Structure 1
Amino acid sequence: MFRVTIRGTFGELGAADRAAVLTGDDAFGAAFTEAGTFTSDRGFSAFTFRCQVPASPEDGEKEATERAVAALEAHGYPCRILRVAVTDMRDIKIRRKGRRR
């Protein structure tokens, strides 16, 4: 599983697009989902898109980035990508606290 964060800027958004971004724009509800979630500034210039991408054993960051960009483009908003950050969740180690005596 990969978690991909894409930061970018919106192009010219119509009224319907602005309303759609506003309904999904909740900083507290921002989550990594397969469809992706947006957060943006109120001027609709900058945005952050969070996407969770399933991974097979041979997948790498390149494939995860391509799938996340495809998910972003599926929303249909005109935009320019500035930065992409990919986290491979398979590499995350969870340290469990030992029992205290």
Structure 2
Amino acid sequence: MFRVTIRGRFDALGDADRARLTATDLFQAAFTEAGTFTYDPSLTAFTFRAQVPAARETDGEPEATARAVAALEAHGFPHRILRVAVTDMRTIRIRRRGGRR
């Protein structure tokens, strides 16, 4: 499983795009397969978060990035991508509190 964060800027949003964006709950930002947006009040900059399952054991950042960008583009908002960050959740280690003393 990968968590991909894409930061970018909207390009020339139309009135229908603006209405569709502002109709979503801004406080439901989460990593989902469909992806979620957070954006600035002027609808200029955005952050898109997507959770991308690894299709194969050998999948890496390039595959996860491509699938997250496809999810972003499926929303249909005109945009420019500025930065992409990928976290491979398979490599995350959880530290438990109260371990050995």
TM-score normalised by L of structure 1? 0.92
- Partner of residue 51, structure 2: 52
Identity of aligned residues (%): 72
* Secondary structure class of the residue paired with 1:24: coil
- Taking a change above 3 Å as real, the CA distance of residues 58 and 41 of structure 1, as seen in their structure-2 partners, is same
Q: Assess if the C-alpha contact under 8 Å between 1:9 and 1:45 holds in 2.
A: yes
Q: Assess if the C-alpha contact under 8 Å between 1:3 and 1:89 holds in 2.
A: yes
Alignment of 1:30-69 (within 5 A): 30-55=29-54, 56-69=56-69
* Secondary structure class of the residue paired with 2:43: coil
Shift of 1:99: 6.2
TM-score normalised by L of structure 2? 0.92
Shift of 1:89: 0.3
Shift of 1:22: 1.1
Q: Assess if the C-alpha contact under 8 Å between 1:3 and 1:52 holds in 2.
A: yes
**Greater alpha carbon shift after TM alignment, 11-20 vs 75-84:** 11-20
Shift of 1:32: 0.3
Shift of 1:97: 2.3
* 5+ long unaligned stretches in structure 1: none
Shift of 1:98: 3.3
- Partner of residue 24, structure 2: 24
- Partner of residue 85, structure 1: 85
Q: Name the amino acid aligned to 1:48.
A: T
Root mean square deviation of aligned Cα = 1.6
Distance 2:47 2:18 in 1: 15
* 5+ long unaligned stretches in structure 2: none
Q: Assess if the C-alpha contact under 8 Å between 1:25 and 1:40 holds in 2.
A: no
Q: Assess if the C-alpha contact under 8 Å between 1:7 and 1:83 holds in 2.
A: yes
Shift of 1:24: 2.0
